[in-house]
Amino acid sequence: LVLALVAWTSNAQAGCSGSGLDLTCTVGTTSAEVASALASASDGATLTFPAGSYSWSSSINFNPAKGASLICASPGACAVTGSGVVGMNGTCASSTKLYRISGFVFTGTGTRIWFWNSNACTVSQLPIDHNTFNGATGDLMIFGENTSRDNYIYGVVDHNTFASAGSFIRAIPLT
Protein backbone atom coordinates (compact mmCIF):
# COMPACT_ATOMS: atom_id res chain seq x y z
CA LEU A 1 0.00 0.00 0.00
CA VAL A 2 2.81 2.42 0.81
CA LEU A 3 4.62 1.64 -2.46
CA ALA A 4 1.45 2.30 -4.48
CA LEU A 5 0.95 5.64 -2.73
CA VAL A 6 4.54 6.70 -3.46
CA ALA A 7 4.17 5.80 -7.15
CA TRP A 8 0.87 7.65 -7.40
CA THR A 9 2.29 10.74 -5.72
CA SER A 10 5.26 10.99 -8.10
CA ASN A 11 2.96 10.81 -11.15
CA ALA A 12 0.71 13.48 -9.71
CA GLN A 13 3.63 15.90 -9.54
CA ALA A 14 4.65 15.63 -13.21
CA GLY A 15 4.42 18.77 -15.30
CA CYS A 16 4.68 22.40 -14.28
CA SER A 17 3.26 24.16 -11.26
CA GLY A 18 3.33 27.59 -9.71
CA SER A 19 1.45 30.82 -10.05
CA GLY A 20 1.82 34.24 -11.54
CA LEU A 21 5.02 34.71 -13.48
CA ASP A 22 7.02 31.83 -11.98
CA LEU A 23 6.35 28.21 -12.85
CA THR A 24 8.61 25.27 -12.06
CA CYS A 25 8.54 22.13 -14.17
CA THR A 26 9.60 18.74 -12.86
CA VAL A 27 12.27 16.52 -14.41
CA GLY A 28 10.71 14.56 -17.25
CA THR A 29 8.00 17.12 -18.06
CA THR A 30 6.68 16.22 -21.52
CA SER A 31 6.09 18.57 -24.44
CA ALA A 32 2.32 18.24 -23.90
CA GLU A 33 2.73 19.33 -20.26
CA VAL A 34 4.93 22.29 -21.27
CA ALA A 35 2.36 23.32 -23.91
CA SER A 36 -0.41 23.11 -21.32
CA ALA A 37 1.58 25.21 -18.85
CA LEU A 38 2.26 27.85 -21.52
CA ALA A 39 -1.44 27.98 -22.41
CA SER A 40 -2.46 28.69 -18.82
CA ALA A 41 0.54 30.83 -17.80
CA SER A 42 0.37 34.58 -17.27
CA ASP A 43 1.86 36.94 -19.84
CA GLY A 44 5.60 37.18 -19.20
CA ALA A 45 5.82 33.89 -17.29
CA THR A 46 9.08 31.99 -16.84
CA LEU A 47 9.00 28.19 -16.86
CA THR A 48 12.10 26.91 -15.07
CA PHE A 49 13.35 23.36 -15.60
CA PRO A 50 15.67 21.56 -13.15
CA ALA A 51 18.66 19.54 -14.37
CA GLY A 52 17.52 16.26 -15.88
CA SER A 53 16.15 14.54 -18.97
CA TYR A 54 13.14 15.58 -21.03
CA SER A 55 11.48 13.95 -24.05
CA TRP A 56 9.68 16.51 -26.19
CA SER A 57 8.05 14.57 -29.00
CA SER A 58 5.45 17.13 -30.10
CA SER A 59 5.43 20.87 -30.77
CA ILE A 60 5.59 23.46 -28.03
CA ASN A 61 4.11 26.68 -29.41
CA PHE A 62 4.39 30.01 -27.68
CA ASN A 63 1.14 32.00 -27.58
CA PRO A 64 1.56 35.21 -29.64
CA ALA A 65 -0.60 37.06 -27.09
CA LYS A 66 1.52 36.04 -24.07
CA GLY A 67 5.27 36.22 -23.73
CA ALA A 68 7.10 33.42 -21.95
CA SER A 69 10.57 32.06 -21.26
CA LEU A 70 11.75 28.46 -21.09
CA ILE A 71 14.85 28.37 -18.89
CA CYS A 72 17.06 25.51 -17.69
CA ALA A 73 17.95 26.32 -14.07
CA SER A 74 21.49 24.97 -14.61
CA PRO A 75 22.53 25.86 -18.18
CA GLY A 76 23.64 22.75 -20.05
CA ALA A 77 22.06 20.34 -17.57
CA CYS A 78 18.61 19.95 -19.18
CA ALA A 79 18.86 17.21 -21.83
CA VAL A 80 16.03 17.34 -24.37
CA THR A 81 15.44 14.46 -26.81
CA GLY A 82 12.62 13.83 -29.24
CA SER A 83 11.39 15.44 -32.42
CA GLY A 84 9.31 18.27 -30.95
CA VAL A 85 9.72 21.78 -32.30
CA VAL A 86 9.78 24.78 -29.94
CA GLY A 87 8.65 28.20 -31.17
CA MET A 88 5.70 29.45 -33.19
CA ASN A 89 5.42 26.65 -35.71
CA GLY A 90 2.86 28.09 -38.13
CA THR A 91 1.24 30.13 -35.34
CA CYS A 92 3.45 33.21 -35.46
CA ALA A 93 1.63 36.55 -35.31
CA SER A 94 2.73 40.10 -34.62
CA SER A 95 3.98 40.39 -31.08
CA THR A 96 6.17 42.65 -29.00
CA LYS A 97 6.26 40.04 -26.20
CA LEU A 98 9.47 38.38 -24.99
CA TYR A 99 10.03 34.72 -25.95
CA ARG A 100 13.25 33.16 -24.63
CA ILE A 101 14.77 29.68 -24.85
CA SER A 102 17.89 29.26 -22.70
CA GLY A 103 20.20 26.63 -21.26
CA PHE A 104 19.02 23.39 -22.92
CA VAL A 105 20.94 20.58 -24.63
CA PHE A 106 18.92 19.41 -27.64
CA THR A 107 19.85 15.99 -29.03
CA GLY A 108 18.29 14.31 -32.03
CA THR A 109 17.35 14.99 -35.60
CA GLY A 110 15.18 17.64 -37.15
CA THR A 111 14.45 21.29 -36.63
CA ARG A 112 14.33 22.23 -32.93
CA ILE A 113 13.37 25.93 -32.97
CA TRP A 114 11.10 27.42 -35.65
CA PHE A 115 9.27 30.75 -35.81
CA TRP A 116 7.07 31.24 -38.89
CA ASN A 117 3.63 31.70 -40.36
CA SER A 118 2.38 31.78 -43.94
CA ASN A 119 0.81 35.17 -43.15
CA ALA A 120 2.40 38.33 -41.77
CA CYS A 121 4.39 37.68 -38.60
CA THR A 122 6.59 39.94 -36.49
CA VAL A 123 8.37 38.84 -33.32
CA SER A 124 10.42 41.65 -31.83
CA GLN A 125 12.03 40.07 -28.72
CA LEU A 126 13.55 36.63 -29.22
CA PRO A 127 16.74 35.72 -27.36
CA ILE A 128 17.88 32.12 -27.89
CA ASP A 129 20.96 31.61 -25.76
CA HIS A 130 23.25 29.16 -23.98
CA ASN A 131 21.83 26.07 -25.74
CA THR A 132 23.70 23.12 -27.24
CA PHE A 133 22.56 21.17 -30.31
CA ASN A 134 24.02 17.64 -30.55
CA GLY A 135 23.82 14.90 -33.14
CA ALA A 136 21.73 16.68 -35.73
CA THR A 137 22.48 18.15 -39.11
CA GLY A 138 20.52 20.53 -41.27
CA ASP A 139 18.19 23.30 -40.15
CA LEU A 140 18.26 23.32 -36.35
CA MET A 141 16.71 26.77 -36.12
CA ILE A 142 14.51 28.28 -38.83
CA PHE A 143 13.17 31.82 -38.95
CA GLY A 144 10.54 32.18 -41.68
CA GLU A 145 9.33 29.52 -44.13
CA ASN A 146 9.44 29.01 -47.88
CA THR A 147 5.77 29.89 -48.36
CA SER A 148 5.75 32.71 -45.80
CA ARG A 149 5.78 36.38 -46.64
CA ASP A 150 6.37 39.31 -44.34
CA ASN A 151 7.93 37.32 -41.49
CA TYR A 152 10.11 39.64 -39.39
CA ILE A 153 11.89 37.95 -36.50
CA TYR A 154 14.09 40.20 -34.33
CA GLY A 155 16.24 38.71 -31.63
CA VAL A 156 19.64 37.49 -30.60
CA VAL A 157 20.99 33.98 -31.07
CA ASP A 158 24.12 33.89 -28.93
CA HIS A 159 26.26 31.56 -26.83
CA ASN A 160 24.81 28.48 -28.55
CA THR A 161 26.92 25.46 -29.52
CA PHE A 162 26.26 23.48 -32.68
CA ALA A 163 28.20 20.26 -32.07
CA SER A 164 27.59 18.52 -35.41
CA ALA A 165 29.12 19.38 -38.75
CA GLY A 166 26.45 20.45 -41.19
CA SER A 167 24.06 21.93 -38.64
CA PHE A 168 22.99 25.51 -39.15
CA ILE A 169 20.51 28.33 -38.66
CA ARG A 170 18.34 29.24 -41.64
CA ALA A 171 16.67 32.60 -42.11
CA ILE A 172 14.28 32.72 -45.05
CA PRO A 173 14.83 35.96 -46.97
CA LEU A 174 11.88 38.20 -47.71
CA THR A 175 10.84 38.27 -51.33
* pLDDT at position 168: 75
As a whole number of angstroms, the distance between CA 49 and CA 71 comes to 6
The 10 Å Cβ neighbour count of residue 129 is 16
Tell me the pLDDT band of 175, cut-offs 50, 70 and 90: low
Q: Is the pLDDT of residue 58 over 50?
A: yes
Q: Is the pLDDT of residue 137 over 90?
A: no
Give the E-state strand segments of the chain in sequence order: 16-19, 22-25, 45-49, 52-55, 60-61, 68-72, 78-81, 86-89, 95-102, 104-107, 113-116, 121-129, 132-134, 138-143, 151-158, 161-162, 167-171
Mean pLDDT of the chain, nearest integer: 86
Tell me the pLDDT band of 108, cut-offs 50, 70 and 90: confident
Q: Is the pLDDT of residue 170 over 90?
A: no
Q: Is the pLDDT of residue 135 over 90?
A: no
